Amino acid sequence: MTIYSDMQSTISDMVQKGKGILAADESAPTIAKRFKAIDVESTEENRRFWRSLLITTPKLGDYISGIILFEETLTQKSDAGAQLPAAAQQQGIVPGIKVDKGKIPLVNTEADQITQGLDGLGERLKVYKEQGARFAKWREVYPIGGHTPSRLGNHANAEVLARYAAICQSVGIVPIVEPEVLIDGDHTIERCAEVIERVQHAVYHALHRYGVILEYTILKPSMVTPGKTHATKATPEQVAEQTIKVLRRTVPAAVPSINFLSGGQTDEEATANLNAMNAGNPQPWELSFSYGRALQQPALHAWMGKAENAQAAQQALFKRARLNGAARYGKYGVGMEKE
């Protein structure tokens, strides 16, 4: 197989009606924070247990077509002794890998960030591919502030995303391109829309300059919403309208799928917002999910670090996956939360 047919089959397996992606790629500090909230220590065994529980959830593949893993998960095994990427693949879930090394401040800017990890990326990707990863994820982070993102911040982050994506494709790995505009702040939905439009415009301009083949990419953007501490919340219809408007202005139709992050929305908000986007007119790309917290949060609280709660945790994950699956068709209703 050539790298192109590799990437085409990865896209075909990941982009499926009624399905989306589970993000289970929390870095060491982030998973420690999630575990601390349920009073669980972040040991290697606890992380293995948790991620194995997620991956082996019965019938998860009915609604989940891809899972983003963290590096250590690639070499861990399920209780039954299967390598976790193989266990995912067995469920019909494509295993992928987060490859960025986190963010640092972008010097000479007020508050822009920049993500590290490009050095040696091509070599690392070859190893991850041998370990079963078929796609990758890289996240650039854009806080919204008075003068942020700056022109420099916008440009620099787009360059890094495009370099990452081009390197992935050179070894036959599908890149998920994630420019996350943070929900933190009291900004209006209009200000969020303006920032996301500027960010995504720069990202697609850079992807073009670096020769990235858009057909073999997935975009993982933030939804357009008011800031978390803004006085009023937007309805799912307002979020859908503003988000689709910005996407139509910035994302070429060659991109097969747009898989939103949840970014601090509650699980029910994330589902309702996705539903509203799919309830309207058809769009040139699939509108799907790549949720971390919005899929895992109820499951984490059902688990509480106790092996005897594993089944309840899997049921909680399955429920969110199923409801987001319904939202892929615009067929979710809040009433389904009680079923």
Annotated catalytic residues are: 178, 220
Token pair of 150 as six digits: 């700056």
Minimum CB–partner distance for residue 253 and ligand 13P (Å): 25
Place of tokens 């978390």: 228
* Candidates 7-15, 56-64, 237-245, 258-266; binding stretch for ligand 13P (CB under 6 A): 258-266
| Among 113-121, 165-173, 192-200, 260-268, the segment contacting ligand 13P (CB under 6 A) | 260-268
The answer to whether 280 and 244 are in contact (CB under 8 A) is: yes
By CB under 6 A, the residues from 5 to 64 that bind ligand 13P are: 23, 25
Q: Which is nearer to ligand 13P, 95 or 263 (CB)?
A: 263
Build a one-symbol-per-residue string for 116-145: x at contacts with ligand 13P by CB under 6 A, - elsewhere.
-----------------------x------
CB of 298 to ligand 13P, least distance (A): 13
If the CB atoms of residues 6 and 71 are measured against ligand 13P, the closer one turns out to be 71
**Stretch of 101-109, 186-194, 257-265, 304-312 lying at the interface with ligand 13P (CB under 6 A):** 257-265
DSSP category for residue 280: S
Residue 292 Cβ vs ligand 13P, minimum distance, rounded to whole Å: 3
Q: For 70-121, where are the E strands, in sequence order?
A: 94-98, 103-105, 113-115
Residue with tokens 């209703």: 333
If you ran DSSP here, which 8-state letter would residue 229 be given?
A: T
Q: Which is nearer to ligand 13P, 289 or 318 (CB)?
A: 289
292 sits near ligand 13P (criterion: CB under 6 A): yes
Q: Are 67 and 110 in contact (CB under 8 A)?
A: no
Residue length of the chain: 339
Map the footprint of ligand 13P across residues 262-281, applying CB under 6 A. Answer: 262-263
State which of positions 166-205 bind ligand 13P (CB under 6 A). Answer: 178
Amino acid identity of 114?
I
* Residue in the structure block whose two tokens are 């079923």: 339
Select 82 or 228, whichever has its Cβ closest to ligand 13P.
228
Q: How far is CA 3 from CA 6, 82, 201, 243, in A?
A: 5, 27, 27, 33
**Residue bearing tokens 């916008």:** 154
Q: Which of 150, 275, 161, 160 is nearest to 218 (CA)?
A: 161
If the CB atoms of residues 14 and 23 are measured against ligand 13P, the closer one turns out to be 23
End-to-end CA distance of the chain: 45
Cα Rg for the chain, rounded, in angstroms?
Answer: 19
Q: Which residue is nearest to ligand 13P (CB)?
A: 292
List the one residue from 53, 121, 294, 326 that touches ligand 13P (CB under 6 A): 294
- On whether the CB atoms of residues 246 and 280 are closer than 8 A, the answer is no
Q: Which is nearer to ligand 13P, 18 or 102 (CB)?
A: 102
Is there binding between residue 293 and ligand 13P (CB under 6 A)?
Answer: yes
Q: Rounded CA gap, 140 and 103, in Å?
A: 8
298 binds ligand 13P (CB under 6 A): no
- Positions touching ligand 13P (CB under 6 A) are 23, 25, 139, 178, 261-263, 291-294
